[in-house]
Amino acid sequence: MGEGLKVSGHPLEASALPLPTRREDLLARLTEPQVWDLVVVGGGATGLGVALQAAREGLKVALLEARDFAQGTSSRSTKLVHGGVRYLAQGHWPLVREALHERRGLLERAPHLAQPLAFVMPTYRWGEQAFYGAGLKLYECLAASASLGPTRFLSAQTTQASLPGVRWEGLRGGVQYWDGQFDDARLALALARTAAREGACVINRVSVQHLLYENGRVAGVCAQDAEQSLTFELKAACVINATGVWVDGLRLTDGCQQEQGVDRLVTPSQGVHLVVDASFWPGDKALLVPKTADGRVLFVVPWLGKVLLGTTDTARPDAPIEPRPASEEVDLILKEAAGYLKKVPSRRDVLSAWAGLRPLVRTDASSSASAGLTRKISREHHIEVSSSGLVTVTGGKWTTYRFMAQDVMKQARRKAGLKPALRVLANDAPLIGAPAAHEWRHQLTGPAGVHLYGAEQEWLGGLPGAQVELALGLTEAMVRFAARYEYARSVEDVLARRSRCLFLDATLAKSLAPKVAQILREELGLDPQLSAFEALADQYAQCP
Ligand SMILES: Cc1cc2nc3c(=O)[nH]c(=O)nc-3n(C[C@H](O)[C@H](O)[C@H](O)COP(=O)(O)OP(=O)(O)OC[C@H]3O[C@@H](n4cnc5c(N)ncnc54)[C@H](O)[C@@H]3O)c2cc1C
């Protein structure tokens, strides 16, 4: 653990019964005739953060996710809770300071899912240690009281001892600094479930087809339940478009409705990760390579008992739902890793290869015809309010989801005249499952297991199959818990995002799929889409 981290107040009632997520009940609630204060479109980090913030402000909020929570970018990050070391070089100090503050807050709100992690940057050239070390000291200073631990200059010997997997020929020293790591998809679920507990109606597999208008103003959405192809309308005072790299879909239709030309806001950029066995990077510290051949940073991160290598930055204008790594991206990661790792991984060693799309905001978008651009922190996230009142939010990063949500709610309140309730819940309150006391010893660098459920472990213990482990810390009871309380509807929902097996070892995930499918059939009485998952697992297992 980092040094001096404390869990802030308001411990949840550890014994509170988890809220069931029966789909029939959720759909019945959604389709009741009523006017929502807020309808949020998109169930990634951004939309879920907004839904939680709105629920805590006492607003009547519904969130609709077309596929599954975090199925887009929000399950495919590098899993870092960070201030963004590389923004320092660009001079964005206030942004880094804000992200460092959010980093600390997130680690405190969900210590079972987000924890401090030591990073070491080995140095091989003269002057590197002083140059990068000064930057990392500044990073620590900017964190001020939110610091997770001191930045330290290491000798070659200490660097080698800290990083048992590092190439030691020519090693001159290193710099150690602190950031955080997390389980992104499980954190998204924690946001969804916390929002639901605080009154939001949150549902997956319901997509927004188009917007509804009254007197030229956005007045709701037309939605479709993907499971029954049922279409229904939701009236709302304000609609938030939080659809990540796909925000331009709703923006462009909104522009057409207003007979206004609208420029695209997002340029999607693909980032690839490769996962290898822990033997390639023993120990519990991460590696930072500050400058790769193409000028990026590369991370080697121990995570849930395996090791992540990544990432890349490749333009991906087609924005597919399930992007695949390109062979050149795999080459780039393996080549860079080979320069730093003692045991060099090859394609054969890759257990899972996956990609995510960053919603990068186009810099020329400020000249768009849309009104009300918020550019205060445009390098990070971007909020736009169209002339019809559609609020679009994109960009930013996982770490700052709460900061973004506060900013969105400011706009929503102003534009739609929404008033928070008299008694607003604190937005630094712990998320569902957060352990009540800071006695947390389990590290996210180690294998997955029941500890990822934090204070909810006791509920798992009471479900059938609590002692039956399928693999990688996944028990039969966890599959049942996913179906009953975590909105899971398919094998992929369980093996990709409730457990992270698909991301950690795709071949193993495929072998578990029939058993998971059988449990889901028992629990939900539906087709859990086994063969679709098997095909997906084959893709993740193949390293192009
Ligand atoms: C490779 C990579 C590494 C990253 N690493 C980090 C990191 O280490 N730390 C960090 O803090 N950040 C990181 N990020 C950034 C972070 O992951 C993203 O900023 C964040 O996940 C974006 O979340 P989002 O909710 O905006 O988008 P998404 O997660 O993509 O969510 C948008 C959702 O909208 C849904 N949707 C789309 N259309 C509709 C519709 N019509 N109706 C209903 N729903 C719809 C989609 O299904 C999707 O689930 C990384 C990003 C990438 C790509």
207 within ligand 1 shell (Cβ under 6 A): yes
pTM of the model: 0.95
Residue 353 Cα to ligand 1 midpoint, Å, equals 18
Strand partners, 485: none
| Total number of residues shown for the chain | 544
Q: Tell me the residue type at 98.
A: E
* Closest-CA residue to 382 (of 239, 391, 399): 391
Q: In 322-429, where does DSSP find H-type helix? A: 327-338, 401-416
Q: Give the distance between the most distant pair of CA atoms in the chain.
A: 71
Q: Rounded to an integer, what distance in angstroms lies between the CA atom of residue 332 and that of residue 200?
A: 43
Mutation probe of ligand 1 site: the residue of 77, 205, 222, 240 with most atoms within 8 A of C-beta: 77
Closest protein CA for atom 50 of ligand 1? 77
Residue 86 Cα to ligand 1 midpoint, Å, equals 20
475 within ligand 1 shell (Cβ under 6 A): no
Closest ligand 1 atom, CA of 72? 30
pLDDT at 363: 64
Q: Rounded to an integer, what distance in angstroms lies between the CA atom of residue 311 and that of residue 222?
A: 37
Residue 47 Cα to ligand 1 midpoint, Å, equals 9
358 within ligand 1 shell (Cβ under 6 A): yes
Mutation probe of ligand 1 site: the residue of 397, 399, 403, 407 with most atoms within 8 A of C-beta: 397
Cis-peptide, bond into residue 311, ω within 30° of zero: yes
Weakest mean pLDDT among 11-20, 85-94, 419-428, 491-500: 11-20
pLDDT at 437: 54
Per-residue pLDDT, averaged over 334-343, amounts to 97
Per-residue pLDDT, averaged over 513-539, amounts to 98
Rg of the chain over Cα atoms, rounded to whole angstroms, equals: 23
Closest ligand 1 atom, CA of 46? 25
List b or e across 272-308, with b for residues whose CB sees 16 or more CB atoms inside 10 angstroms. bbbbbebebbebebbbbbbebeeebbbbbbbbbbbbb
Residue 355 Cα to ligand 1 midpoint, Å, equals 12
Q: Tell me the residue type at 165.
A: G
Residue 350 Cα to ligand 1 midpoint, Å, equals 24
- Name 490's Cβ contacts closer than 8 Å, sequence gap at least 6: 68, 520, 528, 529, 532, 533
Residue 437 Cα to ligand 1 midpoint, Å, equals 31
pLDDT band at 272 (very low <50, low <70, confident <90, very high): very high
Residue 476 Cα to ligand 1 midpoint, Å, equals 29
454 within ligand 1 shell (Cβ under 6 A): no
Residue 73 Cα to ligand 1 midpoint, Å, equals 3
The pLDDT tens digits for 174-188 are: 999 999 999 999 999
pLDDT at 397: 92
The pLDDT tens digits for 355-409 are: 999 998 886 544 443 433 322 334 579 999 999 999 999 999 999 999 999 999 9
43 within ligand 1 shell (Cβ under 6 A): yes
242 within ligand 1 shell (Cβ under 6 A): yes
Residue 44 Cα to ligand 1 midpoint, Å, equals 5
Per-residue pLDDT, averaged over 408-420, amounts to 89
Long-range CB contacts (< 8 A, 24+ apart) of 85-92?
85/135, 85/136, 85/139, 85/177, 85/179, 85/288, 85/290, 85/297, 86/297, 87/379, 88/135, 88/138, 88/139, 88/142, 89/135, 90/379, 92/379
Residue 305 Cα to ligand 1 midpoint, Å, equals 24
Residue 326 pLDDT more than 60?
A: yes
The pLDDT tens digits for 287-319 are: 999 888 878 889 999 999 999 999 999 999 999
Contact 122, 163 (CB under 8 A): yes
Weakest mean pLDDT among 249-253, 256-260, 520-524: 256-260
41 within ligand 1 shell (Cβ under 6 A): yes
74 within ligand 1 shell (Cβ under 6 A): yes
